[in-house]
Amino acid sequence: DAKTTQPPSMDCAEGRAANLPCNHSTISGNEYVYWYRQIHSQGPQYIIHGLKNNETNEMASLIITEDRKSSTLILPHATLRDTAVYYCIVRATHNAGNMLTFGGGTRLMVKP
């Protein structure tokens, strides 16, 4: 699976949009972009995933550039409970191992 690069940390004001970037310049055509997050002392939580079209669900939006070399996770109205480490993962879903390769992630701190 392709490697991803994320900033180690970010701050966001409560109620504002949090925009978390991810670079995946070596992504191949059959690889999806997944986002998970880990709130302190909890297990990782799935947020969203996409291939090339932008995606939106009740938690977030995922914007993938046309060349697919980068993406942005958007939390439209961040709350204090969104403080967590966010992981951008590139994964080929045909991979029989189906493993998720977690990197260092971005530690998002939402401040009042």
- Which residues of this chain interact with another protein, rule CB under 8 A? 38, 41-46, 49, 93-104
Q: 12 or 35: whose CB is closer to another protein?
A: 35
Q: How far is the CB of 72 from another protein (least distance, A)?
A: 20
Nearer to another protein, 63 or 100 (CB): 100
* Cα–Cα dist 109/82, whole Å: 8
When the beta carbons of 21 and 103 are compared against another protein, the nearer one is 103
- The answer to whether the beta carbons of residues 98 and 71 sit under 8 Å apart is no
The least CB distance from residue 47 to another protein, in Å, is 10
Smallest gap from Cβ 51 to another protein, in A, equals 12
Burial of 84 (0-12, 13-18, 19+ CB in 10 A): buried
Computed from CA positions of residues 92, 93, 98, 104, in that sequence, does the dihedral angle turn out positive or negative?
Answer: positive
